[in-house]
Structure formats: structure tokens, C-alpha cells
Structure 1
Amino acid sequence: MSKVAVTGAGGFIGAYLTRQLLAEGHEVTAIDNYLRGRASRLDDVEGPLRRVDCDVRDRDALVEAFRGHDAVFHLAAINGTENFYTRPALVLDVGVRGAIAVCEACIDAGVQDLVVASSAEVYQTPAIVPTPETIDMIIPNSLNPRYSYGGSKLISELIAFNYCRDKLAKVQVFRPHNIYGPDMGWKHVIPQLIDKVRDACDRGDRGITLQGSGTETRAFCYVDDAVSGILRMWQAGDTMNVYHIGSMEEVAIRDLAQRVAGALGADITLLDGPAAEGGTPRRCPDIAKMRALGYLPQVDLDEGVRRTAEWYCANLRPEDVNELL
């Protein structure tokens, strides 16, 4: 068993990853300043957990936090599509300066393994779908703030591989594709659809306004499967490599909305709405590299949506949650 650190441990994927690492017997240092994540996500965890409250851009604090650790999982970021448009400078600052600080701290602290979370956003509109890890990464328009996130992740990959290639035993990047599940926050498509369906039911009408026409497709991956893939990659994958974490169960957003409504027992009417500038019409990863490592998602979309909707119905609505971002 190893001693590992997780940056962004109070975030959605970070908290699930932290829990699973503890369940597998690792000692975990959870690093977050809770600007985006929530400390309460780790309140009831069991096992050897140490919390460090610091900004991921604080190199000196990270060096102290990383000393004696075997591996670092770097997940800290400002995510959520709404934030890409409204806070692009913060998205870039945390993404780029955080990556540099983490890499330098790993080197100075003697960490052996670094696993970095990237994003499917590095492709923007992929030329091949399902998309392999080898296609070009593209930022099509530097004037569009949406690309602050994808741009920061692309740069983070360059930083990880080029700062650490000769300094660490293993350097890996995973590109997650539409990870979802209970307690993922409210600024993502599935929780937003859940809230829209509940609002329609409360109003007594059936109208749900989509972003655009809803013909855009995505391949959603349940969070337990995503965490299983991240750990499989770390344990069995190669250094200086990129791996897709996701599912190949592609679905149109219109169909997804109907599945959400079905999970809530609602009958809805879908209405077209304004499309966000810079959206991607189709996204689905090719996960052949991960399958070669023995990875195979276990939770299908209907079951995952059911579990997620059940959690959101039992918990607070967005206006009752203090989400800073």
C-alpha cells in the first residue's frame, strides 16, 4: 500500500477517488482550499486520511504536503461549463499555475508517481468519433472564454510531461469524458436536467428548455467506473502516456433528458433553447487503451441516471447550496 496525495480532494471526482484509495488501504492526504469543492464530501470517510487546506498554486505548501508520499493525483481545477464563460481568468490561473506548482513540488518532495487529470475539452470538436488519444488537440478561438478550461488542461499536460519526464518514475495523464453521479454539484448537464424536470413538475407544466436543439451527443461515465479506471491506469498503465477514462455509451442530450424524466417518473415536452457558443456537436471516447489494461465500465446510463436522480431528490436544490462557483 502507498502513501498518496489528492489535489482537489473536495471536488466531485476527487472525493470519490479519495474514498476508493482509502478503501484499498492507502494512506491519503486530501488537499483542497474548498473554493470549488466541499469539505463535507469527506466528512464520513474511514481510514488514514490527513487533510491539508491550501491553494494548489502554493508551491511551498505543496512541497510540505507531498513529502514522504509515493504518488500524487492532481485533480484540482475550476470546472463547470458556466465557469468557463464567466470566470476564465480564474480557470486559467488555477489550471496553469497549479500544474506548475504541483510538478515542481513533486520533484522537490521526491514523489515517484504523478497522475494528472486533463479533459475531453482539449479536443474541442474532435475530427474522429469515437476519439482515440492520438488525435490533435485544438483550441479553435482564443477569443472565446469557453476554451479557458480546455486550454489550461492542454497546457497542464505539456507541463506534467516536460517538467517531470526525467524526474519521476511514472507520469500519466487521464482525459475524463463526462463523468457523472451523486453529489457532482449543480453546474453540469445531468443535475441541471434533474432540476429542470423537478421545476416543471412543481409548476404543473411539462416544458423543459434545452441548451440548443439537444441533438448534441455525449458518452457519460458513472463516477464509480471512472475512479476504477483511474486506479487501473495508475497500477497497470505506462509512464509518459495518456488514457481516456469514460464510456462508449453515446447518447443525444434530448434522449438523456427523457431518461432523466423517466427516472423521476415525469412526462415532459422538450423545447429548443439558445445554444452556447463554442459547443461541441458530438463527443465519445475510444477506450481501447484502457480496455487493454482490463478496464470495462459496469454501470449503464439508465442505472447511473437512476442512482443520480435518487440522490438529488433526497438532497438540497441548488438555491439551497452555497456553491461559490
Structure 2
Amino acid sequence: MKKVVVTGGGGFIGAYLARRLLQDGWSVTVVDNLARGRVARLADVIAEIDWQQIDVRDIDSMVSAAKGAEVIFHLAAVNGTENFYNHPDLVLDVGIRGAITAIEAAARCGVPDVVMASSAEVYQTPPVVPTDEMVPLMLPDSLNPRYSYGGSKIITELVAFNYHREAFRKVQIFRPHNVYGPDMGWKHVLPQFIMRAIDAVRAPTTSDIPFPIQGDGLETRAFCYVDDLVDGLLLMQRQGEHRNIYHIGNPEIVTIAETVRLLGKIFGRDFVIIPSAAAEGGTRVRCPSIDKMAALGYAPKISLLEGLRRTSAWYLANERPALEGSLL
């Protein structure tokens, strides 16, 4: 079996990717220091995985983990909007030093292919929607800690394409757009909405339920179910070009208000949106162009309603852990 390394493999997308690679016959090494990742995400297949509980910023450990690999998928990062505001130093340190260490370890070990995760956050508020891969990247305000994540991903892309330029057979960047699904953590918009809905429907009332949100509800997103993301990522790695960038997402655009309405449909209640001031630095409009991926044969399959049903079912069955201050 060919060996693959997934950094951040205990994280949300990383765990889904690691599981799928196992199913496809790869020998999978997961690198994760468990600051945000959880072994439980892969508990049923952990005996089949080479789990390396190391920090992606540790070059000696990363070199040891990378030896003999055919591909490194570098996904390790500190994600979650709350973390961008509350832990920008850690977001930057893991994002930037982790990317440099991953590419350095790959070069030292002769790993031929490297795939690095970027983010839709590199655009902030894009001037063109749907947004293609050639829209200029943006850092609007270095004083706003929200941009710690987007800034670290811009640097990640520069590192991927400019460190050890001649060392690799294939280097690729993927920019995921608003990926969601079961067990994605607790510091993202959709889990917070789902938990708000769960708390609301458990309350003893039959009247319309107030549903507070940040912003006015007219902000738009294009949410991509995690299984569709993994399908696209593996397709990109197999058939995509060297030194290229690909959007992986779902072009099904929806307002935040419509997302809340769909949750009401799932939970069988009417939620009344209570708007408030938007977070400083938030993006009102986001939707990817996936034309480059479509040319490779990619097409997302899971509708937002179906994806929200699956995700809500998981959060209904799993209570939020009482770990104050932890990076989840």
C-alpha cells in the first residue's frame, strides 16, 4: 500500500479524509497534536492508522512521519471564527510555521506530491461572486484579529509554491468554501445555529421561537457538505494540475435567513430571526465558482437540506462537551 500523511487528521475535514483514504486502500499516517483534533473522530478505525501525536511545527517529528510517503495532505490549522478573534497568535503560529515545516519535511523526505489547504477567507469580501481562483487575495486590516486566519492562508499558498520549487512532482492548493457536516466542532456558524435550534425546541413553548443571529440575515453563503468536499479533494489530487489552485465547494447559494428557515423545517418549528450587529470584518457575500473542478468531473451531490438533516441528527445525539476555554 502507498503511504499518505494527513496533518490535522484528527480535525473535522482531516478525519473524513483519513477515513476515505483508508477505504481507498492507502496506508494512512495521521499527524495531530490534539489541540483541536480528537481521536474519537477515528475511533472505529484507529487500529488501521499510524497515529502520530506530534506538533506539525516540530520539524524532526514531521520528517519522521513523512518518510516513505507518496502524498502529504497538509490540513493542520486552528480554525473556527471564535478562535480567529480570541487566539490570533496561535492561529498565525500554527498556520505559518506549520506550512513551512510541512513543506520542508516533504522536501527532505522526497515526498513527490503535496496538497495544502487554503480557505475562502483569503478573499474576505470578494469583488466578484461567484468567485473564481484568480480574484486577488485580500487582507483588509492587519489590526483586526479576524484576519489572522485568512492572512496565514495567504502565506501558506506562497510557501507551497515557492519553497523547494523544484523538489516536487505535484504541488496543489485547495480552497474549501464553508464546509460543514457531523462532528465539525462547536465554534462555527452552523453548529451554533443547530445548538440554538435544539435549545429552542426543548423549551416548553408552542409559539414562534426567537432566533438571534449576527447581521440581518441577508448575508449569503454556499455551504458544502463534507463528503462532497472529500470527493472533490481526492479528484483534484488525482487529476488536477501541478502548481495550481482549485475551489472545492457547492455553488448552491443561500441566505443566512433561508438557512435558519431550513433548520426550522427540520426541527418542525417556526424560528423568528432577531438580527443584530454583524461581526466586524465579517463577509456578506460568498460563493465559489467551481468551473475548474467541474472540468475534472466534480459535482457536489448533497443538498443543503439533506446535509443539515444529517448534521442536526449528529448534534442532537451528541452533547456539547463542557470544556471551558478549550480549542474545539
**Pairwise TM-score range, normalised by the shorter structure:** over 0.9
Residues 264 and 320 of structure 1: is their aligned pair in 2 closer, same or farther, counting only changes over 3 Å? farther
Match for residue 231 of structure 2? Answer: 228
Describe the SS at the equivalent of 1:173. Answer: strand
Question: Retained in 2: the 8 A contact 1:5–1:69?
Answer: yes
- Which string of whole-angstrom CA distances, capped at 9 and with x for unpartnered residues, describes residues 142-173 of structure 1? 00000000000000000011013211110000
- Using the aligned pairs only, state the percent identity: 56
Question: Retained in 2: the 8 A contact 1:22–1:47?
Answer: no
Q: Equivalent of 2:218, from 215, 220, 224?
A: 215
Q: Structure 1 residues 228-237 or 164-173, which shifts more?
A: 164-173
Distance between the aligned counterparts of 2:42 and 2:165, measured in 1?
A: 32
1:50-199 correspondence runs (5 A): 50-199=50-199
Distance between the aligned counterparts of 2:76 and 2:213, measured in 1?
A: 29
- Which string of whole-angstrom CA distances, capped at 9 and with x for unpartnered residues, describes residues 120-157 of structure 1? 00000101100000010000100000000000000000
Q: Residue type of the partner of 1:171?
A: V
Question: Retained in 2: the 8 A contact 1:194–1:261?
Answer: no
**Cα shift at 1:316:** 1.2
1:239-254 correspondence runs (5 A): 239-254=242-257
Question: Retained in 1: the 8 A contact 2:83–2:327?
Answer: no
Residues 112 and 285 of structure 1: is their aligned pair in 2 closer, same or farther, counting only changes over 3 Å? same
Describe the SS at the equivalent of 1:43. Answer: helix
Residues 140 and 320 of structure 1: is their aligned pair in 2 closer, same or farther, counting only changes over 3 Å? closer
Question: Retained in 1: the 8 A contact 2:91–2:148?
Answer: yes
CA RMSD of aligned residues (A): 1.4
**Cα shift at 1:322:** 8.7
Question: Retained in 1: the 8 A contact 2:201–2:267?
Answer: no
Q: Residue type of the partner of 2:312?
A: A
Q: Residue type of the partner of 2:17?
A: L
**Cα shift at 1:203:** 3.0
Q: Residue type of the partner of 2:191?
A: P
Distance between the aligned counterparts of 1:142 and 1:173, measured in 2?
A: 24
Residues 189 and 56 of structure 1: is their aligned pair in 2 closer, same or farther, counting only changes over 3 Å? same
**Cα shift at 1:319:** 3.9
How many residue pairs end up in the alignment?
A: 325
Q: Structure 1 residues 20-29 or 186-195, which shifts more?
A: 186-195
Q: Structure 1 residues 44-53 or 163-172, which shifts more?
A: 44-53
Residues 242 and 47 of structure 1: is their aligned pair in 2 closer, same or farther, counting only changes over 3 Å? farther
Describe the SS at the equivalent of 1:115. Answer: strand
Describe the SS at the equivalent of 1:22. Answer: helix
Distance between the aligned counterparts of 2:199 and 2:213, measured in 1?
A: 14
Distance between the aligned counterparts of 2:73 and 2:194, measured in 1?
A: 30
- Which string of whole-angstrom CA distances, capped at 9 and with x for unpartnered residues, describes residues 33-58 of structure 1? 01011111111027741000100100
Uncovered stretches (5+) of structure 2, i.e. residues with no partner: none
TM-score of the superposed pair, with normalisation by structure 1: 0.97
Distance between the aligned counterparts of 1:49 and 1:315, measured in 2?
A: 24
Q: Does 1:306 align with 2:309?
A: yes
Describe the SS at the equivalent of 1:28. Answer: strand
Match for residue 8 of structure 1? Answer: 8
Describe the SS at the equivalent of 1:270. Answer: strand
Distance between the aligned counterparts of 2:303 and 2:314, measured in 1?
A: 17
Q: 4+ runs of 1 displaced by more than 3 Å? A: 318-325
Question: Retained in 2: the 8 A contact 1:170–1:239?
Answer: yes
Question: Retained in 2: the 8 A contact 1:180–1:190?
Answer: yes
Match for residue 282 of structure 2? Answer: 279
**Cα shift at 1:318:** 4.9
- Which string of whole-angstrom CA distances, capped at 9 and with x for unpartnered residues, describes residues 168-202 of structure 1? 11000000000000000111111111111122223
Describe the SS at the equivalent of 1:243. Answer: strand
**Cα shift at 1:260:** 1.4
TM-score of the superposed pair, with normalisation by structure 2: 0.96
Distance between the aligned counterparts of 1:88 and 1:238, measured in 2?
A: 33
